[in-house]
């Protein structure tokens, strides 16, 4: 039982220091990079960043809200649904002058934005002639560390409508953006890797030429990105959500799996969503909302896809029905959405949100000051994941 | 507790003797191994030394004695709540004592519960500190040039570094 003789020296082993630091809020970590080069190297090391994300005392997720406004055109806020505390975030560059903006995804504290610079036509799944379409930029952004990176453009930005997906590949330890044509033939597609800082043209295996992706909304979990999609040539012309299309970010394999039972086709409305870090689909009918969850073990063994209906909630009143235009997310055990039509603002013009508890069916509302129409909602976890390329971290 | 009144004697690194009950000593893996070791048989007089100073060892033994009943038998929710409050009171000490004594002792004695508690308490105390306060506590010299420091600030526009 002999250890270091002198306990009075101010020395702390690396693993003990790392264990303390990974419990700190991101703001403190950013500050403490300035302590010394050793501390900077520790805080910026990929293994430390990974520990921070998986540590049990990691902070509860927040909601990232983007609002369309007058000046600047978009504003972002972080909301803690427990305290109702709202934090205004400083916009990254390019946002203030943009025409339009989409959040492609939010993953481990990084947010991928698509920023439209000029005139921009409505996105229809199969419109092929987009000669008048404007250019857009992709931006990777960490709202907490305020780092951002403009993703370089690919060659054929002007030719076709694209769907984007953003996610993390744990095997490659890399963040990737997938860009594919939304209709019928995904190949060739492009994949951007944050580690390499460049796009690569890829051919997905198993890509079925008749499948299309019906909604921009994508979720990323366990190294894959998922969209809702459909298949050409089936009896239903409006077969929007009969499939879930997935791209494995590590092996670049494309898979399509049947969606869960979404009810009658006419009232079929679905959102792809993350629930407890699992792939899930919300099926929304006139009076009910069902949550279908893909259990992890069935998801991993390709071909054996089983959806489990985890919860069914009902809407007590029509006014609290989710709006069709706005996005839905799940925060902890609650579905967060904006209510339908005129109810999405209160008398003073503040933006109204609903929190529907899946386990109790209890519905709570909250309003946010200065909000405007067209707010989209994402769950967001604070992190200090860097947007710099791994090969030259200087940014 | 009735079955574990038996206590052992250990020496601190300062040479002071301390008594610790067998059930409390079981919270530490190395102490537990020592208990099973031959030198604890009745005809052995050797008193093992624990390389932790007296002031820290008092605290560590206090923690062990408090947590031993729960660790050995499990506890109700109200007990757990009470223990949590006790932990908070127990950790009310200087951050340097936590970092350089309690934490090192918990690590050395493989005491998961105390280690986790000390790490979390240290983190809670450190999170609001300035860079210069941290450097003072850890005796760290600023090894950045002013250009390097400026570059770090530029990477995080609008973030506070003071």
pLDDT at B41: 53
Which token pair is A310? 């985890």
pLDDT at B1: 36
pLDDT at A393: 43
- Whether residue A33 and residue B152 make contact (CB cut-off 8 A), yes or no, is yes
Task: State whether residue A246 is helix, strand or coil.
Answer: strand
Mean pLDDT along residues A60-68: 87
pLDDT at A124: 46
pLDDT at A256: 84
Q: Residue A100: which pLDDT band, with cuts at 50, 70 and 90?
A: confident
Give tens-digit pLDDT for A3-30. Answer: 444 444 567 899 999 999 999 999 999 9
Mean pLDDT along residues A150-179: 83
- Whether residue A23 and residue B120 make contact (CB cut-off 8 A), yes or no, is yes
Contacts of A389 in chain B (CB under 8 A): none
Range from A293-307, B90-104, B121-135, B145-159 carrying the lowest mean pLDDT: A293-307
pLDDT at A318: 66
- Whether residue B144 and residue A34 make contact (CB cut-off 8 A), yes or no, is yes
pTM for the whole structure: 0.83
CATH code matching the domain that covers B2-149, chosen among 3.20.20.70, 1.20.1440.230, 3.30.710.10, 3.30.465.10 = 3.30.710.10
How big is the A-B interface in CB pairs under 8 Å?
108
What is the interface pTM, i.e. ipTM, of the complex? 0.89
Q: What are phi and psi of A179, to 5 degrees?
A: -125, 115
Contacts of A21 in chain B (CB under 8 A): 123
Domain boundaries, chain A: 59-380
What is the H or E stretch that residue A248 is in?
strand A243-248
Q: Could you write out the DSSP letters of every residue in A100-111?
A: EEEEEEEETTEE
Q: Residue B42: which pLDDT band, with cuts at 50, 70 and 90?
A: low
Q: Could you write out the DSSP letters of every residue in B62-79?
A: HHHHHHHHHHHH---HHH
**Across all residues in chain A, what is the average pLDDT?**
80
Q: What is the CA radius of gyration of chain A?
A: 22
Mean pLDDT along residues B25-43: 74
**Across all residues in chain B, what is the average pLDDT?**
85
Using a CB–CB cutoff of 8 Å, tell me whether A55 touches chain B.
no
Q: Which of A35, A37, A385 to mutate to test the interface with B (most CBs of B within 10 A)?
A: A35
Cβ(B67)–Cβ(B108) below 8 Å: no
Which token pair is B61? 């033994």
Using a CB–CB cutoff of 8 Å, tell me whether A41 touches chain B.
no
Contacts of A5 in chain B (CB under 8 A): 13, 51
Give chain A's length.
395
Q: Name residue A115's beta-bridge partners.
A: A101, A137
Can you say how many angstroms the Cα of residue A127 is from the centroid of all Cα atoms in its chain?
A: 25
Give tens-digit pLDDT for B91-115. Answer: 999 998 988 899 999 999 999 999 9
Burial status of residue A77 (CB atoms within 10 A of its CB: 0-12, 13-18, 19 or more): buried
Cβ(A73)–Cβ(A99) below 8 Å: yes
Contacts of B110 in chain A (CB under 8 A): none
- Whether residue A34 and residue B149 make contact (CB cut-off 8 A), yes or no, is yes
Mean pLDDT along residues A60-87: 85
Pinpoint the alpha helices (H) of chain B: 22-25, 29-36, 54-73, 77-90, 95-97, 103-108, 112-126, 131-138, 146-155
pLDDT at A70: 72
pLDDT at B56: 93
Residue A173 is given by DSSP the state: T
pLDDT at A129: 43
Interface of B with A in 64-93 (CB under 8 A): none
pLDDT at A392: 45
Q: What topology is assigned to A59-380 in CATH?
A: Neuraminidase (2.120.10)
Using a CB–CB cutoff of 8 Å, tell me whether A87 touches chain B.
no
Write down the residue that tokens 């040039």 correspond to. B145
Q: Which residues of B4-43 are buried (b: 16+ CB within 10 A; e: fewer)?
A: eeeebebbbbeeeebebbbbbbbbbeebeebbeeeeeeee
Q: Residue A134: which pLDDT band, with cuts at 50, 70 and 90?
A: low
Task: State whether residue B10 is helix, strand or coil.
Answer: strand
Please check the confidence at residue A327 and state whether its pLDDT lies above 80. Answer: no
Range from A76-90, A278-292, A297-311, B111-125 carrying the lowest mean pLDDT: A297-311
Rounded CA separation A234/A210 (Å) = 10
Please check the confidence at residue B44 and state whether its pLDDT lies above 50. Answer: yes
- Whether residue B131 and residue A34 make contact (CB cut-off 8 A), yes or no, is yes
Range from A104-108, A281-285, B81-85 carrying the lowest mean pLDDT: A281-285
Above pLDDT 90, what percent of chain B? 51
Give tens-digit pLDDT for B54-74. Answer: 999 999 999 999 998 877 676
């Amino acid at each position: 039982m002999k250890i270091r003789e002198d306990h009075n020296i101010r020395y702390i082993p690396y693993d003990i220091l790392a264990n303390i630091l990974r419990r700190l809020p991101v703001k403190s970590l950013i500050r403490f990079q300035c302590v010394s080069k050793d501390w900077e190297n520790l805080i910026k090391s990929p293994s430390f960043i990974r520990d921070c994300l998986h540590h049990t005392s990691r902070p509860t997720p927040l909601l990232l809200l983007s609002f369309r406004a007058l000046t600047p055109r978009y504003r972002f806020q972080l909301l803690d649904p427990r305290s109702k505390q709202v934090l205004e975030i400083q916009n990254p560059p390019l946002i203030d002058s943009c025409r339009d903006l989409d959040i492609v995804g939010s993953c481990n504290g990084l947010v991928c934005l698509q920023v439209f610079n000029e005139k921009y036509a409505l996105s229809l799944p199969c419109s092929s002639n987009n000669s008048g379409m404007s250019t857009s930029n992709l931006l990777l952004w960490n709202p907490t560390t305020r780092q951002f990176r403009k993703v370089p453009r690919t060659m054929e930005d002007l030719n076709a409508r694209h769907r984007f997906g953003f996610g993390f590949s744990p095997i490659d330890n890399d963040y990737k953006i997938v860009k594919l044509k939304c209709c019928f033939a995904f190949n060739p597609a492009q994949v951007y890797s944050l580690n390499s800082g460049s796009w690569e043209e890829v051919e997905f295996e198993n890509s079925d030429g008749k499948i299309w992706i019906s909604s921009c909304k994508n979720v990323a979990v366990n190294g894959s990105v998922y969209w809702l999609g459909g298949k050409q040539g089936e009896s239903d012309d409006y077969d929007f959500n009969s499939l879930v299309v997935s791209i494995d970010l590590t092996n670049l394999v494309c898979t399509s799996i049947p969606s869960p039972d979404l009810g009658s086709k006419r009232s079929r409305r679905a959102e792809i969503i993350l629930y407890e870090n699992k792939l899930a689909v919300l099926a929304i009918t006139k009076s009910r909302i069902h949550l279908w969850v893909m259990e992890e073990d069935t998801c991993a063994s390709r071909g054996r896809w089983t959806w489990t209906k985890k919860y069914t909630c009902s809407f007590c009143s029509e006014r609290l029905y989710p709006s069709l235009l706005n996005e839905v997310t799940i925060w902890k055990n609650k579905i967060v959405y904006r209510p339908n039509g005129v109810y999405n603002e209160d008398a003073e013009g503040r933006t109204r949100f609903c929190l529907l508890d899946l386990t109790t069916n209890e519905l709570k509302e909250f309003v946010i000051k200065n909000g405007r129409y067209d707010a989209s909602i994402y769950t967001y976890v604070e992190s200090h994941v860097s947007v710099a390329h791994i090969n030259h971290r200087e940014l | 507790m009735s079955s574990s009144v038996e206590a052992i004697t250990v020496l601190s690194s300062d040479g002071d003797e301390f008594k610790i009950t067998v059930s409390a000593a079981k919270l530490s893996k190395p102490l537990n191994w020592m208990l099973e070791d031959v030198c604890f048989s009745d005809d052995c007089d050797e008193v093992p030394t624990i390389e932790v100073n007296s002031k820290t060892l008092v605290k560590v033994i206090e923690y062990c004695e408090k947590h031993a009943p729960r660790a050995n038998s499990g506890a109700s929710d109200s007990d757990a709540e009470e223990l949590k409050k006790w932990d908070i009171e127990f950790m009310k000490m200087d951050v340097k004592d936590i970092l350089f004594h309690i934490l090192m002792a918990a690590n050395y004695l493989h005491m998961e519960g105390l280690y986790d508690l000390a790490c979390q308490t240290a983190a809670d105390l450190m999170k609001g500190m300035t860079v210069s306060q941290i450097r003072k506590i850890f005796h760290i010299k600023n090894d950045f040039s002013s250009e390097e420091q400026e570059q770090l600030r530029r990477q995080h526009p609008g973030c506070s570094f003071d």
